[in-house]
Amino acid sequence: MRSRFAHQMPFGAEVGNGGARFRLWAPTQTSVALAVAQTGATLPMQKVGDGWFELLTDAVAIGQGYRFVLADGMCVPDPAARAQLGDVHGPSRLVDPRGFAWQTPGWTGRPWHEAVIYELHPGTFSGDGTFDGIARELDRLADLGITAIELMPVAQFAGNRGWGYDGVLMFAPHIAYGGPEGLKSLIDAAHARGLMVLLDVVYNHFGPDGNYLPLIAPQFFDARRNTPWGAAIAFMQRPVRDFFLHNVLYWLKEFRFDGLRFDAIDHIEDGSEEPILAEIARQVRDRFPDRHVHLTSEDDYNSTSLLEFDEKGRPLLFTAEWNDDWHHAVHALITGECDGYYQDYADVPAKRVADTLATGFGYQGEPSAYRGGRNRGDPSAHLPPTAFINFLQNHDQAGNRAFGERIASLTRPEANEAALALLLLSPQIPLLFMGEEYGERGPFQFFTDFETELAEAVRTGRREEFRRSKVFAEAFAHDAIPDPNSLATFAASRLDLDGADPAERAARLSLIKRLLAARREHIVPQLGSLGGHAGKVEALNGGAFSVSWQLRDSGSLAVAANLAGSEASLPAHKDGTLVFEHPDGAASALAQATLPPWSVVCRLTLESRGVARAR
């Protein structure tokens, strides 16, 4: 079972019976050598064509360090290292992936429609900020009804604290979290509890500190364009495409992740006949036919080109996409905020919430005022509801606020609870952000661990970013924005599991657990019967609305919600099985054509031979 989960790569260090093969693509280098950390020896590598250098040697023992020496004498870590001995500037560590003894080798995953995702940051989720710290909480999450944990990026970045989106060693789980061994142990423990594990990966840029690829292979980057975070990647180059393709296969095979979330794919561009993301998805579907593997994306363009399904509803390429539109509309509705991108949703927020529930994206080709009138989005009503991931908050929606406030700090508890009920009772795939289950009120802020000029540049850039915001334009507010590089900013972002009022915490946990139990019993079994064009907005009245989804096998799922502080009239509804009501009495009120403030009612109607029946 040990070698079965080792992914063989065409670059980096591969352990074999005769030592290890070291391979590097360095097309502009005239020579490359291998530096052995243990002995200080420097061994010349052979040119093997097309910019590749290679060496087979037993000079580096498993667990020991090595680096590559470029023609000018500079020592650099292995861009494809499986682990580091220390930080991103030091020696890489030779790892034998065959040495981990998996306790759950038969795990093949869970189907997508069962997913209830819990996004977390490994460094702030627990007191010690490690993979082991996450593992200690798995029983609690599984008991709550979570079925998948999603890790923010773990590829090694500069320093010990950061969000992970500035990773530079894409194959090396961060040593601060526990390295590859700790990550595998976490995934093994999750699978033993029936939990999927998903990973956020960043393929649109490399971080600003510790990225030596411009020296090793400048062809790795597209000189014609940049992303907001750094140089764009040249996916037209075959070695570059293979680097990312094998990174995907590596995480899925060697670590047995159940899926990946691809960050900001609107900044991944190439002119190939088969786009890189399509190639990745095709290879994944071909190589893992007997596993449930889920590929999801974040895309500001609201593109649907990667969301294709066969006649049985199985994904041909990607599985689902984060739906920022749903979040923005709900947020604008329950907080009243209309600054920044919320301006696109503040006109008729309840209608926009209902529309996203019924047909997917809120912008499906319409002009976006926030984007200067540019048309945004593709039509999405043809997609099943499970092709969308909805959330009230995530790392971006909290951390990209100037002070990192969570939704619990921005609105009243009853509004927050009603929105949570709507999230968890709708047929889209729900995502909770760490701490949301018990009402965490502490911030999740943007933090880094850079040094000298880079630290100052990030600090200044962060404050300048919010100068354009109406809320933070005043100098006193601008100067008060937390310093990303301060240890205090990181510390403030840690979960405080014991900080909430015990009664409030218990009530929120009970609500979430009951909602997820109702979802599991009544809604999940019907999700396979929800295809494209299933959703319909039935009624709208102020902050209240009702939406229904037609089941393929006849019958319907319906949700009515009032996300406002006053009673609202909606068409009476009392057919079928009551799946959930919040608060108590809301269903009786809806039967009389009204909904109380901050309420949600979900009903399921199944039909047999044209006659409605209860379950």
Burial class (CB in 10 A: 0-12, 13-18, 19+), 54: middle
CA distance 540 to 555: 22
Residue type, 151: L
| Amino acid present at 406 | R
Measure the CA dihedral 577/581/587/593, to 10°: -110
Residue 432 tokens read as 């909770």
Peptide bond into 583 cis (omega under 30): yes
Q: What is the sign of the dihedral through the CA atoms of 211, 217, 219 and 223?
A: positive
Q: Which run of H or E residues covers position 265?
A: none
Based on the residue annotation, tell me whether 498 is a catalytic residue of this protein: no
Please give the angle made by the CA atoms of 251, 267 and 379, to the nearest 5 degrees. Answer: 100
The span from the CA of 517 to the CA of 510, in Å, is: 10
SS (H, E, C) 356-408: HHHHCCCCCCEEECCCCCEEECCCCCCCCHHHEEEECCCHHHHHCCCCCCCHH
For residue 436, report the phi and psi dihedrals to the nearest 5 degrees.
Answer: -65, -30
**Tokens 């920022």, residue located:** 324
Per the CB < 8 A criterion, the answer to whether 131 and 199 are in contact is: no
Of the candidates 104, 195, 208, 102, which has an alpha carbon nearest to the alpha carbon of residue 151? Answer: 195
CA distance 411 to 454: 36
The answer to whether residue 132 is catalytic is: no
Structure tokens at 129: 């900020």
Residue 129 and residue 122 in contact, taking contact as beta carbons nearer than 8 Å: yes
Active-site pick, 78, 222, 258, 298: 298
Q: Which of 150, 166, 254, 263 is catalytic?
A: 263
Matching residue, tokens 């289950």: 437
Question: What are the backbone angles phi and psi of residue 283, rounded to the nearest 5°?
Answer: -65, -40
CA distance 340 to 400: 11
Q: Yes or no: say if 156 and 183 are a contact pair by the CB < 8 Å rule.
A: no
**DSSP of 221-252, one letter per residue?**
EEEEEEETTEEEE-TTSHHHHHHHHHHHHHHH
C-alpha dist (Å) from residue 472 to 343, 428, 455, 458: 16, 34, 21, 18
Identify which of 236, 218, 189 has the alpha carbon closest to the alpha carbon of residue 27.
218
Instruction: Give strand pairing partners of 410.
Output: none
Give the integer Cα–Cα distance in Å for 91 and 109: 35
Active site positions, annotated: 263, 298
